[in-house]
Amino acid sequence: MLILGIIVFGMAIGWVAQLILGRSRPGTRSWGEALAAGLVGSFVGGLMISLLADDGLDLRPSGIIGSIAGAVVVLLVWGAVRGRT
C-alpha cells in the first residue's frame, strides 16, 4: 500500500510540475516522464531544502512544495539534455 501511495504521489507531483512548465497539453502528456520527475523531484527538492536550511546533505522528503520545486528542476534539466541531442 505504501508503494502505491508513493507512486500516486510521484505521479501527481510530476503532473503539477508539467502544468507549471506548460507541458501538460492533451497529446503531449507523458505519464512516465511525470512519474520519474515526481519521484526524483521529491528527493531533489528535499536536498535543496536541506541545503537552504543549512542542515547539510541529509536526504529526506521535504513536503509538497519542495517536491514540486524539485520536479520542476528535474523537468527543466531533462528538457535541456533532450534538446541538445
DSSP line for 2-49: HHHHHHHHHHHHHHHHHHHHT---TTT--HHHHHHHHHHHHHHHHHHH
Cell numbers at residue 64, please? 509538497
The CA distance from 13 to 35, in Å, is 8
Cell numbers at residue 83, please? 534538446
Q: Tell whether the model's pLDDT for residue 56 goes beyond 60.
A: yes
pLDDT at residue 46 in the model: 73
pLDDT digit string, tens, across residues 13-52: 888 988 898 876 655 567 888 888 888 888 888 777 777 7
Q: Tell whether the model's pLDDT for residue 72 goes beyond 70.
A: yes
Cell numbers at residue 59, please? 536526504
**pTM, 2 dp:** 0.76
Q: Are 20 and 68 in contact (CB under 8 A)?
A: yes
